[in-house]
């Protein structure tokens, strides 16, 4: 019902796939200017899920909570291997929400090796 009222049904494609599989498929890989995600995984894992969809010089915008700085520290290897760099961290002011929230703005600065993302389940078991 809500989809019809907001006209969200136009230009939408719904896919039921794992990010690791879809990120290897032509037509989706390196096809988007902006990639977003919210509450999926820690940053070092989430980068491997999102980077394959992002065009070179495109942006990845990730919603994170108060522990974002620790996640950034743990994600240094992933950032390097995936040719990503953090451009800016935006602090959000969300009324009535306890706890700080942030958007981490990441830029894809180069080509992504074909081996990423690794096969399903591996990014979570062995984060970069």
pLDDT digits (tens, 9 = 90+) for 6-34: 666 677 777 788 999 989 999 999 999 99
| CA–CA dist 35, 96 (Å, integer) | 27
Higher pLDDT, 14 or 63: 63
Q: CATH code at 113?
A: 3.40.50.150
pLDDT-derived band of residue 126, with 50, 70 and 90 as boundaries?
very high
Instruction: Indicate the DSSP class of residue 99.
Output: S
**Strands annotated E in 18-118:** 32-38, 54-64, 84-92, 101-108
pLDDT-derived band of residue 39, with 50, 70 and 90 as boundaries?
confident
**Domain range spanning residue 36?**
2-125
Q: Which residues of 72-103 are buried (b: 16+ CB within 10 A; e: fewer)?
A: beebeebbebbbbebeeeeeeeeeeeeeebbb
Number of domains in the chain: 1
């Amino acid at each position: 019902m809500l989809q019809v009222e907001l006209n969200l049904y136009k230009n939408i494609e719904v896919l039921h796939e794992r990010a690791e599989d879809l990120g290897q498929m032509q037509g989706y890989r390196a096809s988007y200017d902006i990639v977003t995600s919210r509450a999926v995984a820690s940053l070092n894992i989430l980068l491997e899920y999102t980077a394959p969809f992002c065009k070179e010089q495109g942006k990845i915008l990730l919603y994170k909570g108060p522990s974002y700085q620790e996640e950034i520290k743990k994600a240094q290897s992933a950032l390097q291997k995936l040719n990503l760099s953090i451009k800016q961290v935006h602090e959000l002011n969300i009324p009535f929400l306890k706890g700080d929230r942030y958007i981490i703005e990441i830029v894809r600065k180069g080509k992504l090796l074909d081996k990423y993302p690794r096969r399903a389940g591996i990014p979570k078991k062995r984060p970069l």
